[in-house]
Amino acid sequence: VSPADLRVRALSGLPEISPGDPLGELIARSASATGEDIVVISQKVVSKAEGRVRRLSEVAPGEEAKELARRTEKDPRMVELALTESRAVIRAEPGVLICETNDGWICANAGIDASNTAGEDEVTLLPEDSDASARRLRQELLEHGGQAPAVVIADSFGRPWRLGQADIAIGCAGLTALDDWRGRKDAAGRELAATEIAVADQLAAAADLVRDKDSNIPAAVISGLGELVIADDGPGAKSLQRPAGQDLFR
């Protein structure tokens, strides 16, 4: 089924989010998303609501972090947090620290981010398990909104070979994250070359287009793709992680 029309609405008017805030309930109250919609939520507000916030002034960097901070010319306390949040360092160069997080995401600084936080030395960590966060948020949306839209948790990642950041999915629930076209034919009956489509990532990218980075728009609602929403929570965004053994760029 091909949708003819897709709408992306920015969700504004949410209060500043603090640890313990009922994020799903707050979104349900202002979003009016249906069970055919996809709600894309910024990692930053999810991390805040989950208390995944640290003060740099309270971090004591160890020897490994200090040495890596020298190599990367980064704040040793940021590096200490990145190491704690990671299971591997993929690249370390002046100005660049690319990690594989404990949750399996490959990104700069293990996804630790200092912008849009409350305090001067506050940073956010990624959620511990963003798929679990998405499932919880979907459940809260259902409880407080009466509908179960799909949920995507999005973050801005850099990419090899290409400049600039684009939003990708680090968590999702109720969504076919990776649309499998293998075996399907094109209009002329030939096997398709594009065999798997990273639908969750493309939804994250579409939502980012309506979110100004400086205006704290924490979520967007995407309508018109109801065929992607599934009743069960599905395999999550981790189904988008390429197994290390199949990856040529680590």
Residues 203-242 that bind its own copies (CB under 8 A): 203, 205-206, 208-217, 224-225, 239-242
* Residue ranges in 49-88 that form contacts with its own copies under rule CB under 8 A: none
CB count in 10 Å sphere of residue 20: 10
184 touches 197 (CB < 8 A): no
Q: Report the distance separating Cα 54 and Cα 116, nearest Å.
A: 13
* Residue ranges in 113-142 that form contacts with its own copies under rule CB under 8 A: 113-118, 120
Nearer to its own copies (CB atom), residue 70 or residue 118: 118
Q: Report the distance separating Cα 129 and Cα 132, nearest Å.
A: 5
Question: By CB under 8 A, is residue 185 in contact with its own copies?
Answer: yes
Binding its own copies by CB under 8 A: which of 99, 168, 172, 173? Answer: 168
Q: Which amino acid is at 241?
A: Q
* CA angle 50–111–173, rounded 5-degree value: 55
Report the Cα–Cα distance between both ends of the chain, in Å, rounded. Answer: 37
Q: Which helix H or strand E contains 162, and what residues bound it? A: strand 162-173
DSSP 243: P
Q: Report the distance separating Cα 134 and Cα 38, nearest Å.
A: 12
Question: By CB under 8 A, is residue 163 in contact with its own copies?
Answer: yes
Question: By CB under 8 A, is residue 110 in contact with its own copies?
Answer: no
Binding its own copies by CB under 8 A: which of 182, 187, 231, 245? Answer: 187
Question: By CB under 8 A, is residue 181 in contact with its own copies?
Answer: yes
Nearer to its own copies (CB atom), residue 26 or residue 203: 203
Binding its own copies by CB under 8 A: which of 60, 182, 188, 245? Answer: 188
Question: By CB under 8 A, is residue 165 in contact with its own copies?
Answer: yes
Binding its own copies by CB under 8 A: which of 9, 21, 36, 142? Answer: 9
Q: Minimum distance from CB of 146 to its own copies (Å)?
A: 24
